[in-house]
Amino acid sequence: MNSPLLESLSETLTWLPFLLEGFLLNLLISALAMTIGTLFGGALAQARLSPPARLRQAGLLLTELTRNVPTFVFLYYLAFMLPSEFSLPGSASTWVIAGWVKAALALSIAVTGFCADNLSTSLSAWRAGDHDRALLFIPSWAGYALIIVMASSTASVVGVPELLSRCNTVIAATGNTRMMLPVYLLACAIFVLTCWPLIQLMDHIKRRMMSRHQERNTTTRPGGSP
């Protein structure tokens, strides 16, 4: 006879396709957040390196704002202040702003701060001819993207049916409190099995790039190997 725990585990696995659909929404939120944040972060990085003092100061101010205000603040603000739908003046068409789009916009603000700060350093290194150091931004950006994937679960607090939200749906639908442990463990496993190997890969690539950068610096110093 199966134990209640084994029965709960078996029942949890039947919900796996439903949960994976929610995780795809996590990935979609993250992809949109990284795209928007990288574009705006790149613009701020350029502003921070521009000759006009006022433009540099504005870039620094916006960078600090996007880096230091909690994402939850932006998430709640955008979720409740942005309309769910709108119409363009003179147009009969109605445009819907989905909850996951609002969540992506909130997360993109944190990405903007990250990219503005790190890209300004990379752009300075590139302009100085230190291309190896400049390219270190790439694995850092990829690693941050995986952090955003994990942070995308915060979208559940505003009703977005991503992975964590669907875990709550499964528990409520079954009415079985024993489902809580296996369902949340399965959600954790999905995040870990997706993100952890990629984070390790990005860290390995970054270490290799830093090692190569240090070796090149050593060979170009006076007295170094030719």
Tell me the pLDDT tens digit for each residue of 81-139: 887 777 777 676 778 888 899 999 999 999 999 999 999 999 999 999 888 889 889 99
Output the pLDDT for position 223.
Answer: 52
- DSSP string of the chain? ---HHHHHHHHHHHTHHHHHHHHHHHHHHHHHHHHHHHHHHHHHHHHHTSSSHHHHHHHHHHHHHHHHS-HHHHHHHHHHHS-SEEE-TT---EEE--HHHHHHHHHHHHHHHHHHHHHHHHHHHHHTT-HHHHHTHHHHHHHHHHHHHHHGGGGGGGT--SHHHHHHHHHHHHT-GGGHHHHHHHHHHHHHHHHHHHHHHHHHHHHHHHHHHHHHHHHHSTTS--
**Is the confidence at residue 54, as pLDDT, over 50?**
yes
Output the pLDDT for position 67.
Answer: 87
Minimal CA–CA distance to 27: which of 122, 172, 140, 146?
Answer: 146
Output the pLDDT for position 21.
Answer: 95
Phi-psi region of 160 (alpha: psi -120 to 50; beta: other; left: phi over 0): beta
Model confidence at 2, pLDDT cuts 50, 70, 90, reads low
- Of the listed ranges 32-41, 115-124, 202-211, the least confidently predicted one is 202-211
The overall pTM is greater than 0.85: yes
Q: Which domains does the chain have, with CATH numbers?
A: 4-85+95-218 (1.10.3720.10)
Are 166 and 120 contacting, i.e. CB atoms less than 8 angstroms apart?
no
Q: Which residue has the higher pLDDT, 41 or 68?
A: 41
Q: Which residue has the higher pLDDT, 131 or 165?
A: 165
Q: How long, in residues, is the chain?
A: 226
- Of the listed ranges 15-29, 79-93, 147-161, the least confidently predicted one is 79-93
Average model confidence (pLDDT) across the chain: 87
Interatomic CA distance for residues 60 and 54, integer angstroms: 10
Model confidence at 221, pLDDT cuts 50, 70, 90, reads low
Output the pLDDT for position 73.
Answer: 83
Output the pLDDT for position 114.
Answer: 95
